[in-house]
């Protein structure tokens, strides 16, 4: 498979030799899993045609995975001839190495779903077939692998497992959807089982979990086949569940942490719910619910207000304290994914429009936009903002754009 780097700038740009940890984007949806980058000094308006493209790399195969960026190395996954590959790419867009990790999802909408999770000197991925694989970060040497569907008697779902694993301490959390093993914790060093949840017996629902640390507990929140779930991350005890039956059992949006022990969940058609819980996570109170902002899989950001797109293609702004809808318009040509940084929103529509959007009077104001014309198949990967760069994955091609102020 031929892979080509196509620099589109005539000027050679020299970058610093290291990136501080605060600028790394080490997992799906970023360091805090909320789609937000702690960046400043970024362009507040793009030139006509979009920001300068630093490079593009093709040959990544089929997939909707985003990228992780740590220490000036970019990691992503792709499927070539039914096999999943993990790719490591240097800061200039050249392929450093690639490693096979087994069969990938070849059913409806074939390709990879998982974004690598980077933890210290290792990488962790979960394939669309439910296999978790751990690699060394420097050369991609295999450390361990576990077929979670086989081991925990799970069953794959209609569009393939689409979870990016979460790591906390020595634990890797994932959702194989087995009997008395809907959610499991594995030892990140060995892959051995630490705990499994009891009594849920729900399948996975395309959702990547989050961790919420209080003064008393480290709580794991996610959505599974028909439930919103809160789990004690230390021992796997299910503290409570909320019925959450969605169309086609899709609950693909990563929950969002909010202040004062509150978490926001949303799914397509059903809409969003804000809940509050005590320090020990023993129960919950529903603060509000709303049909608005019923995102399918493009994610939601909390940036003063809640922002994202709904199933009808509207882009929505919603007050996080009350659920009041402040903006609801067809800002772009379709629904899509979203990230945020330096006071601005980065919106990537399913029709390939990439837009810079201002949070204007509690709403959304389109500032700049252009079309992504490279790449293949669906525009589903989430945008990534790291060290003054915007990374866009479109199927077979990864692009890096310079969004720093000059």
Cα 181 to Cα 5: distance, rounded to the nearest angstrom:
43
SS3 151: helix
Cite the beta strand spans of 90-217 per DSSP E.
Answer: 95-103, 117-119, 122-126, 131-136, 142-147, 166-168, 171-174, 184-187, 193-196, 210-213
Q: What is the pLDDT of residue 361?
A: 78
Q: What is the pLDDT of residue 13?
A: 30
Q: What is the pLDDT of residue 406?
A: 86
SS3 382: coil
Q: Are strands 271-276 and 285-290 parallel, antiparallel or unpaired?
A: antiparallel
Question: Average pLDDT by consecutive 10-residue portion of the chain (406 residues)?
Answer: 37 30 85 97 97 98 98 98 98 98 98 97 98 97 98 97 98 97 98 97 97 97 98 98 96 97 96 98 98 97 97 97 97 98 98 96 93 98 98 98 96
Cα 344 to Cα 337: distance, rounded to the nearest angstrom:
14
DSSP H helices, 179-261, are none
Q: What is the pLDDT of residue 405?
A: 95
3-class DSSP string for 317-360:
EECCCCCCEEEEECCCCCCEEEEEECCEEEEEECCCEEEEEECC
Contact 316, 308 (CB under 8 A): yes
Sheet containing strand 301-303, edge to edge, reads 301-303, 305-309, 315-318, 325-329
Question: Which whole-number Å values give the CA distances from 131 to 62, 83, 194, 216, 252, in the listed order?
Answer: 18, 12, 17, 33, 19
Q: Are strands 171-174 and 166-168 parallel, antiparallel or unpaired?
A: antiparallel
Cα 292 to Cα 320: distance, rounded to the nearest angstrom:
12
What contacts 381, CB < 8 A, 6 or more positions away? Answer: 63, 64, 65, 66, 337, 348, 392, 393, 394
Q: For the domain 19-402, what is the CATH code?
A: 2.130.10.10
pTM of the entire predicted model? 0.94
- Does an H or E element contain 273, and which? strand 271-276
Contact 263, 212 (CB under 8 A): yes
Contact 357, 336 (CB under 8 A): no
Q: What is the pLDDT of residue 153?
A: 96
In terms of phi and psi (left: phi > 0; alpha: psi -120 to 50; beta: otherwise), the region of 279 is alpha
Contact 142, 131 (CB under 8 A): no
């Amino acid at each position: 498979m031929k892979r080509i780097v196509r620099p589109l700038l005539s000027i050679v740009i020299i970058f610093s030799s290291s990136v501080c940890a605060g600028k790394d984007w080490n997992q799906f949806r970023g360091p805090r899993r909320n789609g937000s980058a702690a960046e400043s000094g970024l362009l507040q308006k793009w030139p006509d045609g979009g920001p300068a493209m630093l490079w593009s790399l093709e040959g990544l195969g089929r997939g909707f995975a985003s990228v992780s960026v740590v220490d000036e190395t970019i990691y992503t996954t792709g499927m070539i001839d039914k096999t999943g590959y993990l790719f490591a790419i240097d800061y200039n867009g050249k392929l450093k190495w690639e490693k096979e990790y087994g069969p990938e999802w070849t059913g409806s909408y074939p390709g990879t779903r998982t974004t690598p999770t980077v933890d210290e000197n290792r990488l962790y991925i979960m394939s669309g077939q439910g296999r978790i694989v751990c690699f060394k970060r420097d050369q991609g040497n295999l450390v361990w692998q576990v077929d979670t569907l086989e081991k925990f008697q799970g069953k794959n779902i209609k569009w393939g497992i689409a979870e990016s694993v979460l790591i906390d301490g020595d634990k890797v959390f994932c959702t194989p959807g087995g009997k008395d093993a809907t959610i499991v914790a594995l030892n990140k060093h060995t892959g051995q089982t630490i705990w499994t949840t009891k009594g849920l017996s729900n399948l996975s629902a395309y959702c990547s979990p989050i961790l919420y640390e209080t003064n008393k507990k480290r709580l794991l929140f996610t959505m599974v086949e028909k439930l919103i779930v809160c789990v004690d991350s230390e021992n796997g005890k299910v503290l409570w569940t909320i019925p959450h039956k969605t169309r086609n059992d899709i609950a693909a949006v990563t929950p969002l942490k909010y202040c004062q022990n509150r978490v926001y969940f949303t799914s397509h058609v059903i809409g969003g719910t804000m809940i509050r819980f005590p320090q020990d996570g023993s129960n919950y109170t529903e603060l509000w619910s709303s049909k608005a902002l019923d995102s399918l899989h493009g994610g939601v950001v909390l940036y003063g207000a809640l922002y994202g797109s709904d199933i009808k293609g509207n882009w929505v702004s919603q007050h996080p304290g009350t659920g009041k809808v402040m903006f609801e318009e067809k800002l772009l040509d379709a629904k899509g994914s979203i990230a945020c940084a330096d006071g601005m929103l980065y919106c990537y529509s399913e029709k390939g429009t990439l837009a810079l959007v201002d949070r204007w009077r509690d709403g959304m104001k389109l500032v700049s936009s252009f079309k992504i014309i490279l790449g293949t198949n669906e525009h589903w990967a989430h945008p990534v903002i790291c060290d003054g760069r915007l990374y866009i994955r479109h199927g077979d091609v990864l692009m890096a754009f310079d969004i720093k102020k000059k």
